[in-house]
Structure formats: structure tokens, C-alpha cells
Amino acid sequence: MSEWELLASVVAAMSVATFIRSFLGFGDALVAMPILSLLIGVREAAPFVAIISFITALCIVGAERNSIDWKPASWLIGSSVIAVPAGIYLLRTIPEQYVQAFLAFVIIGFCCLSFLKSKLARLENDRLITIFGAAAGVLVGAYNTPGPVLVIYGTMRNWSRERFRANLQAYFLPISLIVGTVHVTTGGANEGLWLRIGTALPFVLLAIWGGSTLSRRVGGEVFQRFVYGALVIVALMLLFDSIGEN
């Protein structure tokens, strides 16, 4: 594969992942990282995905800032940041496959409760928000995967489609900025990174517009089905990955 073919493949993968993120509000890293890791390696892929994630969140927050409920978003961000050190400790003490398997079963259990329309799958208020935020922070510190916990919380609170997407981006905006800054300041930036970002940017912006437009056009119930479907796929990916590491 030539350099330009490789670059085109990287841009295509990131564009598809960004479209999914812009449509659902999450899922770009779960789509992009496995593909990009094969193409350019984890060390090259991680800062690229983090910076594109920040750009995506910035665009969506700017366009849909009126849909953001800043109070719960702030609580999620604050409790998450505080819990990040616990995630780093978890990474160093507990094998990754155990945490992945646990998270997979939690997601599957939640989807089953939602399918059965159980009251356990609904929250009437934000009293437990710091617990969910802390759980997301632990996952950020350990594996940089806070999405599933945030998605479960937003679904349990029955956020509207607009609020669901906007609140998630309000959370991801500072988190991805922090992660991206760490990558850049610790040697993750090189000419290849900036070339990929510059080349991908027009396609990423188009993907953000396309995903956001499609999200506004589908019905709320259809959108919720897509979210549940994405959660199940995430759970299966985590479960198979944890089995493969044993």
C-alpha cells in the first residue's frame, strides 16, 4: 500500500467513525481505533482520534449549545475528572479483560431491563449522577472508554434525542481536549499526525454535518433503537475482546 493509499484509508475510516459519532453522539473511538491500529499502529492512531474527537465535539456543541443541559453535564464532567486517578490505579492492578467482561455484562443487563421495560432501567432524577460520572472517570483513566456509562445514564434519564447528543458532546469536549493535549505534549505529535488531520478535516466536517442532519431527521423512537443496537455491539466487542485475552 502506497503512502497516499494508506492516508486515504485512514481518512475514510475516521470519516465513517465521525459520521457514527455525529449521528448517535458516541462510538467514534470504538469504530476507528481497531481499524487505525492495524493501519498505522496504536501510538499513531491514539492522538489522531483524540484530536478529531475534540473537533467533532466542538462543532456539535457550537451548533447545538441550546440543547445542552449544563447542570447535569457539569456534574458528570466534575465527578469524572475526580475519579480519573482511580481509573489509572485500576489499570495497574486489575487485568483489563476482567473489567471489559464486567462492563459488557452491565451493558447487556441494562439493555435487557430496558427491553422488559423495567423500572430499574429508569431514573426519575439526577441524584445518582455523580456515581455515573465517577464510573465514567474511572473508565477514562483506565481505558479511555467512558461512552457506555454515559449512554446508559442518558438513556435511563430519558433524555430527548437532541439533549442526549448535545450533553454527551459537552462531556467529551473537555475530556478529549485533555487527552489530545497529553498526547501532543508527550511526543505524540509529528508531521504524519498533522498531515492526517489536515487531509481528514474537510471529510470529517462533512461527516459531522451528515451525521447531525440524519440524527435530526429520524424519529426519537428509531434513534433510541439505534442507541440500544450500538450498546449491544459495544458489549459484544468488549466481551469477545476479554475472551480473546484469556
On the question of pLDDT at 199 being above 90, the answer is yes
pLDDT at 202: 96
On the question of pLDDT at 13 being above 90, the answer is yes
CA 103 → CA 109, 143, 148, 156, distances in Å? Answer: 10, 12, 8, 17
Question: Tens digit of pLDDT for each residue in 103-127?
Answer: 888 888 888 877 777 777 788 888 8
Going from N- to C-terminal start, the domains of the chain cover 3-244
On the question of pLDDT at 161 being above 60, the answer is yes
pLDDT at 14: 94
Handedness of CA 180, 145, 169, 127 (dihedral sign): negative
Res. 246 pLDDT band, cuts 50 70 90: low
Res. 200 pLDDT band, cuts 50 70 90: very high
Average pLDDT over residues 170-192: 80
On the question of pLDDT at 83 being above 90, the answer is no
State the alpha helices, DSSP H only, in the chain: 3-24, 28-40, 42-63, 70-93, 96-115, 129-143, 147-156, 161-183, 191-217, 220-244
Average pLDDT over residues 216-234: 84
User: Which of 17-30 are b and which e, b meaning 16 or more Cβ less than 10 Å from the residue's Cβ?
Assistant: bbbbbbbbbbbbbb
For residue 192, what are the contacts with CB-CB under 8 A and spacing of at least 6?
Answer: 40, 44
Average pLDDT over residues 210-239: 85
pLDDT at 245: 59
pLDDT at 130: 92
Locus of grid cell 457550537: 62
Work out the end-to-end distance of the chain between its first and last CA atoms, rounded to an integer number of angstroms.
33
pLDDT at 9: 93
* Residue from 208, 171, 235, 238 nearest 16 by CA: 208
Question: Tens digit of pLDDT for each residue in 54-80?
Answer: 999 999 999 888 888 888 889 998 998
Average pLDDT over residues 138-150: 76
Looking at every residue in the chain, the average pLDDT score rounds to 84
Cα 189 to Cα 169: distance, rounded to the nearest angstrom: 24
Lowest model confidence (mean pLDDT) among 6-10, 116-120, 121-125, 150-154: 116-120
Higher-pLDDT residue of 76, 37? 76
Cα 231 to Cα 154: distance, rounded to the nearest angstrom: 13
